[in-house]
Structure 1
Amino acid sequence: MNNKMLVGVDLGGTNVRSGLVSGQEITKIDSDRIQSKSDESIVIKQVIDSISKVINPKVEAIGIGVPGILDTKEGIVYDVQNIPSWKAVPLKSILENHFQIPVLMNNDANCFAAGEWHYGMGKKKNNLTGLILGTGVAAGLICEGKLYEGRNCGAGEFGMIPYLDHNYEFYCSGNFFSHFHQSSGEEVYKRAASGELAALQIFQEYGKHLSLLIKTILYAVDPEIIVMGGSVSKAFPFFRATLWTELQDFPYQPVIKNIQITPSEIDNIAILGAAALYFN
């Protein structure tokens, strides 16, 4: 695994980032804004151009993470956030025909989990949940040493589970701060970092909601480790104590004793995670 040379692509709604991954490191990165409102073919060309800037003849495969709905087996992207022209794009076959090497695709949450499993906090773990806490909530699952995506690539969508008057995503993503406290998570973070009591209390409240989401994950898949990514995870020091306090009444105490919960520590994990699809 350490000798493989791969390309990882993080395709977002506004940017495409491609990285040359050699062993455990990213040795070259390209980042470009995409013309998200353009025709399908124009955006595809931008993806190809970005990959072309980092690829070389030694690359064995290309992995792509997509924030949307896709068929991983057929390699068809059915919807991407903020790219309205992409309705049923056979991206896998287009890129394989162009670059003449295998192309693997998955959603961004599954790529995050794969990246942590191969390159990050989840090394040597057979059961891992990669939990993204950002503008939304989603998770990728490593179960018994394999990425588990379900029949329709929908496994791990814990954010969509009903909770209180909405769902977990509403209470555990950035929506929590904007809807209930009329502020962005970034602004609350800055206030908490300065020691403001009200901001610290907001994160305590957030930690209580998140603890219930994590209990749901523990009941469902019982991982060894939960690695958190996304913008909200950067505030972990402000809600860590509340989170662990709220988890103490979990009925299966060996689970709480053994579980690790930690934020990601790797830069460019989205690129590494896309490349890690090669190893699944």
Structure 2
Amino acid sequence: MTQRLMLLDTASLYFRAFFGVPDKVKAPDGTSVNATRGLLDIVAKLVTLYHPAQVIACWDDDWRPQWRVDLIPSYKAHRVVEAVSSGTDVEEVPDPLEQQIPLIREALSALGIPIIGAAEHEADDVIGTLASRATMPVDIVTGDRDLFQLVDDARDVRVIYTARGMSNLEVVTDATVVAKYGVLPSQYADFATLRGDASDGLPGVKGVGEKTAASLLQAHSDLAGIRAAVADGKLSAAASARFAAAAAYLDVAPDVVRVATDLDIAAPDVPLRALDDARADAARAFAEQWNLGGSMERALAAIATA
């Protein structure tokens, strides 16, 4: 069996768990545990289905980095609930989920799954860096299509896409991206820049939707090629006017949309394997303390047979 590195877009998964698992069962102190239970079950399912050699939980140390906001002020602005005195934006997260985030970190650590973040960067950037440096095939688990830009058949980097639910996972390869959008994964960041993305506060180029963006990239390879064609008068007057109006956005958007691949981080050499008796007992005690039910046991069992 091929040895694969699995990179988790952790926030994407725990948000999915929070909204997908009813908030009926609580810890003894009244803390909600639905996201924690759900994430453990997600880990168990992923490990059972894909048998990774290593799993890393990639973390948003900064979900809305200031350097991206400086370039595009609308970046994720609709998700901000307030600006605290430190100047750090606060993401809109339901209180019962916010309370579980430390618990989620403890649960992952109890399973021996490393958690990696990077200052002033998002989990996407951690994933991009680790995927680019991996010495084995990579599975990126996310519900965020922005990470399609990292798909690379030549290096056997694929996305396990969760947007349609954990019962309907989709393995995204080069062919998948081409079939869905008409562009190669290497063109996806430029495609997203042109199309825009309301969920990330990216305006895109007015009048350029997915089909137009794809056709422009098919004809001119990348955003630089499209802008060169505009400068050379090779596009229609209407298209040229759209790109002229969006020039300031297009000057900076690629740096916002492209995930980083050069952070000063490294994947720890921690193979996914069954915990020894002492650590397994500690994980079970932790699960009992927080009323995690069978979710921890299912995760332990999946890891033991990975």
Structure having the higher helix fraction is 2
| TM superposition score normalised by structure 1 | 0.36
Larger radius of gyration: 2
| TM superposition score normalised by structure 2 | 0.34
